[in-house]
Structure 1
Amino acid sequence: MTQPPYTLSLDLEDFRQHKVGNAMRETEPLNEGEVLFRVDKLALTANSISYGFAGKSGLIRYLDIFPADEGYANLPCWGYADVVSSKHPSLSVGDRVYGFLPIASHVVMKPGKVSPGGFTDMRTCRSVVPPFYNEYAMTASEPGYAPEFEEAIMLFRPLFGTSFLMQSYSEDHAFHGAKRIIVTSASAKTAMGFGYLMGKNYAGTIETIGLTSLKNRSFVESLNCYSQVLTYDEIDTILPGEQTIIFDVAGNQEVVEKLHRRFGESISYSGSVGKTHWDAGAFGAVTNLPGAKPQFWSAPDQIAVLRERIGSGEMMRQMSSAMADFLQAAQGWIQISESRGPNEIADKIVAMLDGSVNAQDGIILRP
């Protein structure tokens, strides 16, 4: 029996709980200018869960992009979808796009002006987040696109974009005078991409230390992304005194506090990038610690800086060039697995929240 159109929504109080609802809007006739997409595949990563916690905290309203019933939220993920019905003159059945999508079988969008490269969803609900998250790329005109690379692109592209922006931010601020960067959750794909870029562009100039769990240490060391890989209980082996930047991808307040107590006033910048440690304190929480005050690092802010300085097209060209290089290295790092249908997908979300997903697992959802 074919699964009817549905949306999988997470309980706002406990993301481990969910409900599967009928996607009634997606079964109604389209209005002029609207397009119905069939969601084909999504990438579930630590970043996906971070969107959920950031949205729940109100830092960026990720959970308002795809409206849900009261008390529930539709978690956005990056992935691919195909046009199955269109009342927009520039989009036809079969057109394939890449962008932010809900965990659902279908989604209705209202594209603005469509270019050969893509479009922006202009629905009112999308106005609560920076424009970047509302943009969709047409695969037919994407440079270097090939169907066989879709899984790697889904898993790494949005995360590598953040990695690229972290490096760009650091360069714009002359690395805050630091010669050492400490990255938490070094096994996370965002951290991996950043470590790769730093190793490629600043090896011998900026030391990049990746912090990870004992379980993931061997895997992280095998990537050759970092100057040094240490476990969290080895923080005290790092010599203090050197000017240091902290990029906290883990979102673990205990680790952040330990780093600030260890390095004190030599910390020239401390930015919260993500939350791979879901249960370790409030997302983006700030405490009275020695050194630069911990703050929420914003990728959209850096996007705005680059767009103003070099334009959106040049920013994407530079990012795409860097990513093509990275994907060559990263192809063999990840083991792809698929979860199909709402029940398997819900189980995989719980597994990720419970920490039972391995760092090398590349999770693809097939609604």
Structure 2
Amino acid sequence: MTTSPYTLSLDLNDFRQAQVIDASDYVEASLLEGEIMVRVDRLALTANSISYGFAGKAGLIRYLDIYPATMGLANLPCWGYGDIIASNHPDIAMGTRVYGFLPIATHIRMQPDKVTAGGFTDVRVCRSVVPPFYNEYAFTHAEPGYRRELEDLIMLFRPLFGTSFLMQSYCDDNSFHGASRIIVTSASAKTAMGFGYLLKKHYGGRIETVGLTSDKNRDFVISLQCYDSVLSYEEVAEIKKGEQTLIFDVAGNANVVKALHMQLGDTIPYSGSVGKTHWDVGSFGQTGALPGAKPIFWSAPDQIAVLRERMGSGAMMRQMSAAMTDLMMAAQNWMALSESQGHEAITQKIRAMLDGHIGAHEGVILRP
């Protein structure tokens, strides 16, 4: 399928609305010295992708600034794969396939630096507004265990499982703040799945895990066997108070967080906001005064910095990749993949996700 170059930009005030921006001149212009051109092949659209948009809009982390857009519009970043179709960089060859943070667009220019056998960092000025982790690209031929047929699952779970891995690492580093129970909201989200999976695998019998989800997703979440118990949001009042309990809010639903704090009060030593899968409820990370520890924004980049300082980036990624292997084997039985090709189909899929019409079991792949 031949497609004219374009970028699909979202309305900053309503992500359901999109504009197709012609990118023909952008693609046809000569590369500057040291630049490369990447043809975006496939992207994963997840709840985390949408959370990047809301976090960027709220100014928590400037995800929406790394691919500058026309005033009033935003270019949503997603994790995915692309191929280098032109190179004016002496150390990067055409035809190389890369994995990393990409816009919903057919093409993107990059300025590689810190090139190694495993990948490079895009050092364009606009990329400096986010932590370095988001600017790093891996050469697929150098990825241990890489298999092209697993790309869709890798895109869906690798960045989200990375967050799951970092959440577990944070808990371990802080001795779970003395808690013996963890409650995770939006338990059907892939970030929450991975977190529950890791907790049950490494701390089963020591740390109790409770997954909160909607009634419609409850049976699916139970089938994952990632949590010790699964409750609907309407059943928060049934959670017994007594033991120290951590809260990780993946939903970003202030009403649910309030209900948990009112129910558990001063037995909450830590309450972290991780994402916002409930996009239509309140502002990202905003809660009023509540009993227990004050809800705060949990920062994955901060934990990345801790691990890099402790073990280095390479060792961190190796540990993360090893931890993800088992999850991906299990995830093949959890997920039903769908593919949307072209800007019209992609726009419809984004709207469906924002409107809550994407099932928890569906893995959404975009093909610009």
Aligned to 2:239: 238
Aligned to 1:153: 154
Aligned to 1:20: 20
Deviates more, 1:253-262 or 1:310-319: 310-319
Q: Distance in 2 between matches of 1:159 and 1:301?
A: 16
Ranges of 4+ aligned residues in structure 1 off by more than 3 Å: none
- Is contact 1:7–1:103 with CA below 8 Å preserved after alignment? yes
Q: What letter matches 1:221 in structure 2? A: I
Q: Aligned-pair distance for 1:241?
A: 1.5
Q: Aligned-pair distance for 1:27?
A: 2.2
Deviations 1:119-169 (A, max 9, x none): 000100000000000000000110010001100000000000000000000
Q: What letter matches 2:28 in structure 1? A: T
- Is contact 1:5–1:27 with CA below 8 Å preserved after alignment? no
Q: Distance in 2 between matches of 1:247 and 1:97?
A: 32
- Is contact 1:79–1:101 with CA below 8 Å preserved after alignment? yes
Aligned to 2:169: 168
Q: Distance in 1 between matches of 2:119 and 2:159?
A: 16
- Is contact 1:251–1:273 with CA below 8 Å preserved after alignment? yes
Q: Aligned-pair distance for 1:286?
A: 3.1
Is 2:18 the counterpart of 1:4? no
Q: Distance in 1 between matches of 2:219 and 2:266?
A: 32
Aligned to 1:274: 275
Query: TM-score, with normalisation over the residues of structure 1?
Result: 0.99
Aligned residues: 367
Task: Give the alignment of 1:49-60 within 5 angstroms.
Answer: 49-60=50-61
Deviations 1:41-66 (A, max 9, x none): 00000000000000000000000010
Query: TM-score, with normalisation over the residues of structure 2?
Result: 0.99
Aligned to 1:84: 85
Deviates more, 1:23-32 or 1:195-204: 23-32
Partner secondary structure for residue 216 of structure 1: helix
Aligned to 1:193: 194
Partner secondary structure for residue 109 of structure 2: strand
Q: Aligned-pair distance for 1:3?
A: 2.0
Deviations 1:238-270 (A, max 9, x none): 101210000000000000000000000000100
Q: Distance in 2 between matches of 1:161 and 1:72?
A: 28
Task: Give the alignment of 1:285-364 within 5 angstroms.
Answer: 285-364=286-365
Q: Distance in 2 between matches of 1:99 and 1:40?
A: 12
Partner secondary structure for residue 50 of structure 1: helix
Aligned to 1:213: 214
Partner secondary structure for residue 332 of structure 1: coil
Partner secondary structure for residue 164 of structure 2: helix
Q: Distance in 1 between matches of 2:304 and 2:287?
A: 24
Q: Distance in 2 between matches of 1:31 and 1:237?
A: 62
- Is contact 1:209–1:228 with CA below 8 Å preserved after alignment? yes
Q: Aligned-pair distance for 1:317?
A: 1.1
Q: Distance in 2 between matches of 1:31 and 1:25?
A: 12
Q: Distance in 2 between matches of 1:339 and 1:53?
A: 23
Partner secondary structure for residue 230 of structure 2: strand
Partner secondary structure for residue 245 of structure 1: strand
Q: Distance in 2 between matches of 1:89 and 1:339?
A: 35
Q: Distance in 1 between matches of 2:260 and 2:27?
A: 48
Task: Give the alignment of 1:113-152 within 5 angstroms.
Answer: 113-152=114-153
Aligned to 1:110: 111
Q: Distance in 2 between matches of 1:317 and 1:351?
A: 35
Partner secondary structure for residue 333 of structure 1: coil
Q: What letter matches 1:27 in structure 2? A: E
Aligned to 2:69: 68
Q: Distance in 1 between matches of 2:44 and 2:104?
A: 10
Deviations 1:180-221 (A, max 9, x none): 000000000000000000010011100000000000000000
RMSD of aligned residue pairs (Cα, Å):
0.7
- Is contact 1:286–1:295 with CA below 8 Å preserved after alignment? no
Q: Aligned-pair distance for 1:113?
A: 2.5
Q: Aligned-pair distance for 1:226?
A: 0.2
Deviations 1:266-304 (A, max 9, x none): 001000000000011110113100000000000000000
Q: Aligned-pair distance for 1:26?
A: 2.2
Q: What letter matches 1:157 in structure 2? A: R
Aligned to 1:179: 180
Aligned to 1:251: 252
Q: What letter matches 2:88 in structure 1? A: K
- Is contact 1:57–1:283 with CA below 8 Å preserved after alignment? yes
Partner secondary structure for residue 318 of structure 1: helix
Q: Distance in 1 between matches of 2:287 and 2:132?
A: 27
Q: Distance in 1 between matches of 2:306 and 2:26?
A: 37
Q: Distance in 2 between matches of 1:286 and 1:277?
A: 14
- Identical counterparts, % of pairs: 68
